[in-house]
Amino acid sequence: MFEQIYEVVRRIPPGRVATYGQIARLLGMPRAARTVGWALHTLPEGIDVPWQRVINARGTISFDPDSPGAVIQRALLEEEGVVFDEKGRIDLDVYGWAGLDLAERQQLLERDP
Partner DNA sequence: CGTATGACGAGCC
Partner DNA sequence: AGGCTCGCCATAC
Alpha-carbon Rg for the chain, nearest whole angstrom, is: 14
Binding to DNA by residue 8, rule CB under 7 A? no
Residue 22 interacts with DNA (CB under 7 A): yes or no? yes
CB nearer DNA, residue 96 or residue 103: 96
Dihedral pair phi/psi, residue 9, rounded to 5°: -60, -35
Please check whether residue 45 is in contact with residue 67, taking contact to mean a CB–CB distance below 8 angstroms.
no
User: Between residues 44 and 103, which has the closer beta carbon with respect to DNA?
Assistant: 44
58 touches DNA (CB under 7 A): yes
* Integer Cα distance of 110 and 85 in angstroms: 39
Binding flag, residue 10, DNA (CB under 7 A): no
- Using CB atoms within 10 Å of the CB of residue 56, give its burial: 0 to 12 exposed, 13 to 18 middle, 19+ buried: middle
The CB-of-106 to DNA minimum distance in angstroms stands at: 20
Site residues (vs DNA, CB under 7 A): 1-2, 19-22, 29, 31-38, 40-43, 51-52, 54, 56-58, 61-63, 69, 73, 87
